[in-house]
C-alpha cells in the first residue's frame, strides 16, 4: 500500500507542477495555462461542512491537489438544501478542485489506508472536535512519525486548548459568543445574525493562511507544524476597535443598525426603487455630498463642520440626506454620486449581484462544467496573482468519484484489494 504511484507524481516533486496543469482543465474547459502557486502540494481534506472544506478549497484553487475524504454514501452536508438536480448546492460551493474518495474510518482497514494517505500528503485539514484525531489513531505526533514535515490544520469551534475546547459550536454560536451578535442589528431591536456564515468563513480563511505560513516555514527549515484555528478566536479578532475601546476606555458598544460607527453621514438611505448606502462621513467627502444635494448650507453649518460634530447631530444630518434621496431612483443617485466621487453602493438583490459587470470583469461569477449535472454557477477566486494565478480545474466531486485513481494509482492498491474493500463497505 505504500508503493509510489505509477502515473501520479508524488507531491513536492519537480514534475508535479507540470502534471497539475496537464491533468486539470481551466474554468473555460481548456487546460490551465499556469500550474498555480501551490502546484506540487498535496492536501488531505478530512473536514466537513464549511470552515475546513473552504480552507482546503482555497489551497486547491491556488494549485494544490486536494483529496477529500468522505464516508461511504457521502458526508452529512450533501443532505443540506438547496438542491440542484438532486445534489446539494451547499456541497458544491465548498468542494471544487478536489478529488473525492470514500472511506469508513471505523473499518478495521481504515487506519492503514489513512496512514498511507498521510505519507503521500503535505497538508492534512480536519475540523473534528479536539481529541477526535487522537481517537482515530492520527494524533499530530503520529502524523509526524508518518511524515516528519507534515502540516496539520485543525479548525475547531473553540480551539485545541482552553476550558471550552470540547464544546460543540456552529456558526451562530460563534456569532453569539464572540460578541458579534450583540453588535449586529438595530439599536431598538434584538441581536441579529449576519446574512452568511461569517464565523465559518473567517475560520476557513485563517486555516488556509495558517497552512501557507506553515508551508513557508517548512520550505525554510524542513519542519512541519500543527496549525490550530478556533472559530471563536477568528471571529473575535475581527471585531475591530470595539473590544479594545471597552477594555481601555470603558466604552460600552451599542448596536448601530446600518449606520457607520465612526463617521456621518454614512448609512442606508431610501430611494423610489430601493435603497442606497452612501458614505460621505469624512471631512473631504462631506462637502462633495452637500454640493450634489445643492445643500451648501449644510457644509457651512458649524454643527457639521467636523466628524465629531456630525456624529453628535447624526439624526438631523441623515434626515437631510434622506430628503434628497427619497424622491430619486437608485440610478439617478448613482449617477450624481459617481460624478462627485462620493462612495456609494446600491443595496443589491442577488439577481442584480449576479448580473454585475464589475464582478463579471473580475471573473467572480464562473460556470464550471460538472460531468453529470452540467454547468454549475460558482463564486470565482478573489485572490488575483499576476505570476501564478489560481484556477478552477475540477468541478466538485460526486461521492467516491476518484476512489480508483487515488487508491489504485496513488496508494498502489490492486484491483482485488479494491474489490474486497468495496464488498466490505470500507470504501
| Residues 100 and 398: beta-carbon distance below 8 Å | yes
* Same-domain check for residues 137 and 192: yes
- Whether residue 260 is contained in a domain is answered as no
Chain centre distance of CA 321 = 36
* Same-domain check for residues 62 and 155: yes
Told to judge if 200 belongs to the known catalytic residues of this protein, a careful annotator would answer yes
Query: Distance between CA atoms of 221 and 215, rounded to whole angstroms?
Result: 10
CATH of the domain at 166: 3.40.50.10540
* Same-domain check for residues 152 and 295: no
* Same-domain check for residues 364 and 391: yes
Model-wide pTM > 0.85: yes
- Whether residue 88 is contained in a domain is answered as yes
Query: Distance between CA atoms of 48 and 43, rounded to whole angstroms?
Result: 14
Complete DSSP assignment for 295-325: -HHHHH-GGGSSHHHHHHTHHHHHHHHHHHH
Cα atoms in the 13 Å half-sphere on the side-chain side of 111:
11
For strand 151-156 and strand 123-126, is the pairing parallel, antiparallel, or unpaired?
A: parallel
* Domain boundary, last residue among 302, 322, 351: 351
Task: Dump strand ranges (E) for 192-349.
Answer: 225-230, 266-271, 274-279, 344-346
The whole-number pLDDT of residue 29 equals: 36
Query: Distance between CA atoms of 394 and 98, rounded to whole angstroms?
Result: 7
* Same-domain check for residues 189 and 151: yes
* Same-domain check for residues 333 and 392: no
Within 8 A by CB and 6+ apart from 176, the residues are 191
* Domain boundary, last residue among 321, 351, 381: 351
- Whether residue 256 is contained in a domain is answered as no
* Domain boundary, last residue among 316, 351, 386: 351
- Whether residue 191 is contained in a domain is answered as yes
Query: Distance between CA atoms of 403 and 103, rounded to whole angstroms?
Result: 9
* Same-domain check for residues 26 and 134: yes
- Whether residue 89 is contained in a domain is answered as yes
* Max CA distance (Å), the chain: 85
Neighbours of 347 (CB within 10 A): 15
* Same-domain check for residues 35 and 66: yes
Q: 78: closest CA among 68, 88, 89?
A: 88
Query: Distance between CA atoms of 272 and 327, rounded to whole angstroms?
Result: 6
* Same-domain check for residues 177 and 46: yes
Chain centre distance of CA 422 = 34
Q: Which of 122, 171, 200, 228 is catalytic?
A: 200
Per the document, the length of the chain is 427
Query: Distance between CA atoms of 76 and 219, rounded to whole angstroms?
Result: 36
* Same-domain check for residues 24 and 120: yes
- Whether residue 254 is contained in a domain is answered as no
The domain of 346 spans 266-351
Helix (H, G, I), strand (E, B), or coil: what is residue 291? helix
* C-alpha cell read off for 285: 467627502
- CA distances, 264 to each of 87, 257, 268, 307 (Å): 46, 13, 11, 7
The residue behind cell 444635494 is 293
pLDDT tens string, the chain, 427 residues long: the values are 333 332 333 444 434 434 433 333 343 333 345 689 999 999 999 999 999 999 999 999 999 999 999 999 999 999 999 999 999 999 999 999 999 999 999 999 999 999 999 999 999 999 999 999 999 999 999 999 999 999 999 999 999 999 999 999 999 999 999 999 999 999 999 999 999 999 999 999 999 999 999 999 999 999 999 999 999 999 999 999 999 999 999 988 889 999 999 999 999 999 999 999 999 999 999 999 999 999 999 999 999 999 999 999 999 999 999 999 999 999 999 999 999 999 999 999 999 999 999 999 999 999 999 999 999 999 999 999 999 999 999 999 999 999 999 999 999 999 999 999 999 999 9
* Same-domain check for residues 345 and 374: no
The backbone torsions φ and ψ at residue 229, rounded to the nearest 5 degrees and listed phi first, read -120, 125
Domain count of the chain?
2
**In sequence order, what are the beta bridge partners of 226?**
152
- Whether residue 137 is contained in a domain is answered as yes
- Whether residue 58 is contained in a domain is answered as yes
Burial class (CB in 10 A: 0-12, 13-18, 19+), 50: buried
CATH of the domain at 310: 3.30.1540.10
The backbone torsions φ and ψ at residue 61, rounded to the nearest 5 degrees and listed phi first, read -60, -30
* Same-domain check for residues 116 and 219: yes
Amino acid at each position: 500500500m505504500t508503493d509510489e504511484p505509477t502515473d501520479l507524481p508524488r507531491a513536492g516533486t519537480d514534475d508535479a507542477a507540470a502534471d497539475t496543469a496537464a491533468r486539470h482543465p481551466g474554468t473555460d474547459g481548456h487546460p490551465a495555462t499556469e500550474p498555480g502557486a501551490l502546484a506540487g502540494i498535496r492536501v488531505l481534506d478530512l473536514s466537513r461542512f464549511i470552515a475546513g472544506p473552504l480552507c482546503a478549497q482555497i489551497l486547491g484553487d491556488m494549485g494544490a491537489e486536494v483529496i477529500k475524504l468522505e464516508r461511504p454514501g457521502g458526508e452529512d452536508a450533501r443532505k443540506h438544501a438547496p438542491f440542484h438536480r438532486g445534489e446539494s448546492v451547499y456541497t458544491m460551493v465548498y468542494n471544487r478542485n478536489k478529488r473525492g474518495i470514500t472511506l469508513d474510518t471505523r473499518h478495521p482497514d481504515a487506519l492503514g489506508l489513512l496512514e498511507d494517505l498521510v505519507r503521500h500528503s503535505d497538508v492534512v485539514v480536519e475540523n473534528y472536535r479536539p481529541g477526535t484525531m487522537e481517537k482515530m489513531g492520527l494524533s499530530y505526533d503520529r502524523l509526524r512519525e508518518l511524515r516528519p514535515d507534515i502540516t496539520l490544520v485543525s479548525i475547531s469551534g473553540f480551539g485545541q486548548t482552553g476550558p471550552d475546547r470540547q464544546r460543540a459550536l456552529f456558526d451562530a454560536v460563534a456569532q453569539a459568543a464572540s460578541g458579534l451578535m450583540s453588535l449586529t442589528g438595530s439599536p431598538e431591536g434584538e441581536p441579529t445574525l449576519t446574512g452568511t456564515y461569517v464565523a465559518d468563513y473567517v475560520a476557513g480563511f485563517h486555516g488556509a493562511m495558517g497552512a501557507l505560513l506553515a508551508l513557508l516555514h517548512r520550505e525554510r527549515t524542513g519542519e512541519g507544524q500543527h496549525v490550530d484555528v478556533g472559530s471563536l478566536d477568528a471571529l473575535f479578532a475581527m471585531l475591530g476597535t470595539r473590544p479594545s475601546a471597552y477594555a481601555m476606555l470603558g466604552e460600552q458598544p451599542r448596536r448601530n443598525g446600518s449606520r457607520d460607527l465612526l463617521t456621518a453621514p454614512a448609512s442606508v438611505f431610501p430611494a423610489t426603487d430601493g435603497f442606497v448606502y452612501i458614505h460621505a462621513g469624512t471631512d473631504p467627502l462631506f462637502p462633495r455630498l452637500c454640493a450634489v444635494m445643492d445643500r451648501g448650507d449644510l457644509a457651512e453649518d458649524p454643527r457639521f463642520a467636523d466628524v465629531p460634530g456630525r456624529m453628535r447631530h447624526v439624526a438631523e444630518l441623515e434626515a437631510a440626506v434622506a430628503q434628497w434621496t427619497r424622491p430619486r431612483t437608485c440610478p439617478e443617485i448613482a449617477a450624481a454620486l459617481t460624478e462627485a466621487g462620493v462612495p456609494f453602493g446600491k443595496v443589491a438583490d442577488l439577481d442584480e449581484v449576479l448580473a454585475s459587470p464589475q464582478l463579471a470583469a473580475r471573473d467572480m461569477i464562473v460556470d464550471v462544467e460538472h460531468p453529470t449535472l452540467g454547468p454549475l454557477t460558482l463564486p470565482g477566486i478573489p485572490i488575483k496573482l499576476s505570476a501564478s494565478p489560481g484556477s478552477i480545474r475540477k468541478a466538485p466531486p460526486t461521492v467516491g468519484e476518484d476512489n480508483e485513481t487515488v487508491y489504485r494509482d496513488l496508494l498502489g492498491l490492486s484491483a482485488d484489494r479494491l474489490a474486497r474493500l468495496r464488498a466490505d463497505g470500507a470504501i
